[in-house]
């Protein structure tokens, strides 16, 4: 028997599309909430067309990876009868999720103020591009744009090359996680007071928060951090190195680890060299250190160095492909792939001892649940 999730009994009206909003709603669904995904007739969520790659069933894998544990209903907000159904859904929902441009849903009576008036206990979650202030409300945002405009791309890539984006829609993901935290906090507040509230997370705000030490470094010095390739601005050696047969990573976080690394490499004298004896000194002399270590690492294959360094207590690892990463996670007992009603999907990383995530439904077809949801919404009870 499958245990009920911690959010079982909650209804989520998911008016969002693409990535951040759908990922938030899917996370709530994994935790037991009943999620109804509202989609445009004919086209549905934009990501339904974002392929290749496609699944064996012909669905875009991009869409499938963001929409399990949901039911799909198609509603045309420009149609008065359909719009009434959308309003009824928002009136019954515990959580409303949307990522339209600020002000768009007011035309349909589905903005926060309208929903709060009819459903004061609801948690209304808005994910915006750059916030809802007048000067920002009209700006559209995609992850790539925000990676560029937030400064993330200015610190990603080789020092002497062009800026790069991260290989996934990282800002959308960070925003989704921040919005999930805000949603759960608002639910707790409602449990205590009975009051709903508006949760808003912008991609830009999430990106700036996600800059972490790079942001705090800028605030401390007023200087823009440079691109460093695979090096770290504050730790050394903390980067990629080339071995005899490929590349690997060393993450040497303190002086004890560096002494151990020097021992593994038969370079014990480096630990007493004033250029390298402390982390601050190593960062200042990272070019010289890089040259010495690279010359050593090129003499043996990746597997040799990863094994020897880890045995000495120095964090090191190969640069895996995605497939290799999944196989490693399986070997480590993480169970990275699960079945959602016959559909292979990436497991939730959240582990709860009493009420773990469940995988009850695969990503729905467009309007797959139209009949049952429309009948339920048409019923005044």
Active site (catalytic) residues = 172
Tokens of 148: 């560029």
For 197, list phi and psi in degrees, rounded to 5: -165, 175
63 class by beta-carbon count within 10 Å (0-12 exposed, 13-18 middle, 19+ buried):
buried
- Beta strand 197-202 with 123-128 is parallel
Tokens of 203: 């991609």
Q: Are 157 and 163 in contact (CB under 8 A)?
A: yes
Concatenate the DSSP letters of all residues of 51-72 into one string. Answer: -SSB-TTS-BHHHHTT--SEEE
* Nearest by Cα to 182 from 124, 227, 139, 241: 124
* Nearest by Cα to 289 from 270, 312, 309: 270
> What's the number of CA atoms in the CB half-sphere (13 Å) around residue 141?
33
């Amino acid at each position: 028997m499958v245990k009920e999730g911690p959010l079982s009994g909650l209804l989520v009206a998911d008016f969002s599309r693409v990535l951040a909003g759908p990922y938030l709603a899917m996370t709530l669904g994994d935790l037991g909430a009943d999620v109804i995904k509202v989609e445009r007739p004919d086209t549905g969520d934009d990501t339904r067309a974002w392929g290749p790659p496609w699944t064996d069933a012909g669905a875009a894998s991009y869409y499938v990876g963001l929409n399990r544990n949901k039911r799909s209903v198609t509603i045309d907000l420009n149609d008065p009868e359909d719009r009434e159904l959308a309003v009824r859904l928002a009136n019954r929902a515990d959580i409303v999720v949307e990522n339209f441009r600020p002000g768009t849903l007011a035309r349909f009576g589905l903005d926060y103020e309208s929903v709060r008036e009819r459903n004061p206990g609801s948690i209304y979650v808005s994910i915006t591009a750059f916030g809802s202030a007048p000067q920002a409300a009209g700006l559209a945002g995609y992850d790539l744009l925000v990676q560029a405009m937030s400064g993330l791309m200015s610190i990603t890539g080789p020092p002497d090359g062009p800026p790069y984006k991260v290989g996934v829609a990282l800002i959308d993901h960070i925003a989704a996680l921040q919005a999930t935290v805000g949603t759960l906090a608002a639910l707790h507040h409602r449990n205590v007071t009975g009051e709903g509230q508006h949760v808003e997370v912008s991609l830009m705000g999430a990106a700036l928060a996600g800059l972490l030490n790079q942001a705090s470094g800028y605030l401390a010095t007023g200087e823009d951090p440079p691109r460093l390739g695979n090096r770290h601005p504050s730790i050394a050696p903390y980067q990629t190195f080339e071995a005899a047969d490929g590349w690997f990573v060393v993450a040497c976080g303190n002086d004890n680890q560096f002494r151990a690394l020097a021992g593994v490499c038969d370079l014990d004298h480096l630990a007493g060299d004033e250029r390298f004896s402390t982390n601050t000194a190593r960062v200042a002399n990272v070019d010289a250190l890089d040259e010495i270590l690279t010359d050593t690492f090129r003499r043996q294959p990746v597997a040799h160095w990863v094994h020897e360094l880890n045995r000495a207590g120095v964090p090191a690892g190969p640069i895996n492909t995605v497939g290799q990463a999944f196989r490693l996670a399986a070997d480590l007992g993480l169970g990275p792939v699960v079945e959602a009603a016959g559909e292979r999907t990436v497991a939730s990383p959240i582990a709860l001892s009493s009420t773990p995530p469940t995988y009850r439904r695969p990503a729905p077809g467009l309007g797959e649940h139209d009949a049952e949801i429309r009948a339920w919404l048409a019923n005044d009870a």
